[in-house]
Structure formats: C-alpha cells, structure tokens
Amino acid sequence: MQLSHEQHAQFERDGYLFFPSLFSPEETCKLNAAVPALYERREAFNVREKGSDAVRTNFAAHMYSREFATLARHPRMIEPVESLFGEKLYMHQFKINGKMAFEGDVWQWHQDYGTWLNDDMMPTERAMNIAIFLDDVNEHNGPLMFIPGSHKRGVIDAKHDLTTTSYPLWTVDNDLIRQLVERAGGKGRYDQDGRLVDSGIVSPKGPAGSMILFHSCLVHASTSNLSPWNRVSVYLSLCAVGNHIRRHKRPEYIAHRDFTPISCLPDDCLLKDYPVDLPWKNGLPASALQTSLQPFDASPQPA
C-alpha cells in the first residue's frame, strides 16, 4: 500500500495518518479470536494492570502466534512506513495493548521515541508506530489522544515514571503539554453542525480494522477505560534498519535484536495460509530475558 503525495504532506503536517476500516471484518475477527489464548498465558511477555489480572500489554506475539506473525508481515502495515522512510524496516517492538472494559488504565503523555532513545539507544527518530484496532474505538473506551504537529518539536526531555501504572514510561511534563496543546489549537471550536474542529487534541475513532500510522515523536496519551467495551489494539513499532538500537537494556521480547529487513507477504495473507517462522513457538527462550547496560558496536566488521 503506497501513500499519495497528499498523504505524505498530511503526515508531515500532523504527524499521523488515519485509515478507517482498512482491514475487513473477516480479517479483524481472525486476529481478535487469537487474543484470549495469548492473554491467558502466564509468561513474562504479558504485563498486567496494576492491582488487576487484566492484561495491559502482550509483547512479541509475532514470535509465537501464527496470526500475528502474519500480520507483522502485512503490506498494508509495512509499505506505508517504507514509503515515508525510503528504507527497509525491522521490527523493533510488537505489542497487543488491551485496554479492557472497566479495568484498562491510562497511558500517560509521552513520545515513543523518548523510551527508545533513553532505554534502547536508538540513534534517531527514524521509527514509528502502526496501530490496528481489533475492537471498535469510541470516545468512551479510552481512545488514543494526539497533539497534532507535536512531532515537529523533536525529542522532548522526559522523566521516567515508574509508579503511575504497571509499565514504566518516559513521560512529558504537564506544563509542556499545555503549551503544545495551545499551540496546536487549544480547545478548538464547534462548527455549525456541533462538531469540534481545530482542536489541539485529536482522537482518531472508528470500527475494528481501522489503522493509525504515527510519528515516533508525536506526543500522545490515552485515558482509562470505564466503559463496558474492550479496546484492544495491535502496535507494530517499525524502525529503519540503519537506525537499529545500540543497547540491550530491555529484554528481547520488549526491544527486538533481529535487524533483518521485513519481507512482506501477499495482501491476502490474513485470509490464506502462508508459511511464517515462529521461533518462540515452544516457549520464551532464556536469551529473550537477558539484558545489558553496555552499548554494543554496530559498525560493520572486517571480512
């Protein structure tokens, strides 16, 4: 799936693109049906909510689930990012975020690149997220909130929040959030049809199967889910191969260490069976838990 010149320009301006209903109900249902079995597993790759058994994040499903290994190679998710970077990609991170009904907690205001820089020593922000909705997303079940154009601010100083939720995050100061929102439009205004426009905070919403592409420096957050509806989404964090991480501070199931370029499957891969590699199908290997605070040498080795 290639982006148009207009979509390139929109991405540069806003820092994100939204594709409603990009995946069919049949494709989305196949993915959604695979989630409960993944969430039931008592493995390190399932991070649960603070004080709850509900899964907040499932990591690296593409390493042990056929359905999500297939999605990780889907051209509708890979090709738009290749188009923007003009370079092949590798999978930096793969997660299925479960903002479950009544229990899904907040994600504080942050930039994804803040974590990738501070924890993983990713050299530049040449990486971004692709998100696909596995459930309908509405204003009640904790949709993502973006500050349009905030990616143009570049890398923002962040603090490491280790206490608010069950998952540590490099978060952005509230005063700066106020400034960025005001600069992006503030409270916005209501048009003659009662719709909010020109707001400094936007929340893409739509049916299951919709997709968002957003810049790694775009400041975003989401509120808790107090509704009776789940909001499960899959996130592919895709990095330009030449921009791969330089430190293994986090375990491999969180920040991947295989920098092999992704090869896409055909567009109908979610509806037909194509061979995919599942290296962790027999369990999480010990190597996936190993970490190091030392940077590694990424320069080419002599022949």
Of 36 and 303, which is predicted with more confidence? Answer: 36
Torsion of CA 257, 45, 131, 259, to 10 degrees: 10
Half-sphere CA count of 136, side-chain side, radius 13 A: 7
Domains of the chain: 5-289 (2.60.120.620)
Query: Is pLDDT of 300 > 70?
Result: no
Instruction: Look up residue 261 and give its two tokens.
Output: 């370029």
Q: Is 144 helix (H, G, I), strand (E, B) or coil?
A: strand
Residue 137: φ, ψ to 5°? -115, 125
Instruction: Tell me the CA distances in angstroms from 170 to 57, 164, 195, one per residue in order.
Output: 16, 11, 33
pLDDT, averaged across the chain = 93
What is the per-residue pLDDT for 303?
Answer: 43
Of 297 and 204, which is predicted with more confidence? Answer: 204
Query: Is pLDDT of 301 > 70?
Result: no
Provide the CA 281 distance to its chain's centre, in angstroms: 23
Instruction: Tell me the CA distances in angstroms from 93 to 58, 195, 231, 236, 273, one per residue in order.
Output: 11, 36, 20, 6, 24
Query: Is pLDDT of 191 > 70?
Result: yes
Is the sign of the CA dihedral 286, 254, 61, 268 positive or negative? negative
**Band of pLDDT at residue 260, cut at 50, 70 and 90:** very high
Half-sphere CA count of 267, side-chain side, radius 13 A: 7
Closest CA to 141 of 205, 222, 225: 225
Q: How many other β-carbons are positioned within 10 Å of the β-carbon of residue 42?
A: 6
CA 268 – CA 274 distance, rounded (Å): 10
Instruction: Tell me the CA distances in angstroms from 62 to 8, 278, 280, one per residue in order.
Output: 28, 7, 9
Q: Per-residue pLDDT tens for 30-81?
A: 999 999 999 999 999 999 999 899 999 999 999 999 999 999 999 999 999 9
Q: Output DSSP code: residue 7.
A: H
The pairs formed by 24-29 with CB atoms below 8 angstroms and a separation of 24 or more are 24/209, 25/208, 25/209, 26/271, 27/209, 27/270, 27/271, 28/132, 28/133, 28/134, 28/208, 28/209
Secondary structure (DSSP) of 187-255 = T-EE-TTS-EES-SSB---B-TT-EEEEETT--EEE----SSS-EEEEEEEEEEGGG--SB--S-TTTS
CA 288 – CA 250 distance, rounded (Å): 9
**Band of pLDDT at residue 299, cut at 50, 70 and 90:** low
Secondary structure (DSSP) of 56-120 = EEEE-GGGT-HHHHHHTT-HHHHHHHHHHHTS-EEEEEEEEEEE-TTTPPPEEEE-HHHHHHHHH
What is the per-residue pLDDT for 195?
Answer: 83
Query: Is pLDDT of 123 > 60?
Result: yes
Provide the CA 264 distance to its chain's centre, in angstroms: 19
Query: Is pLDDT of 298 > 70?
Result: no
Is the sign of the CA dihedral 197, 203, 207, 211 positive or negative? positive
Query: Is pLDDT of 297 > 80?
Result: no
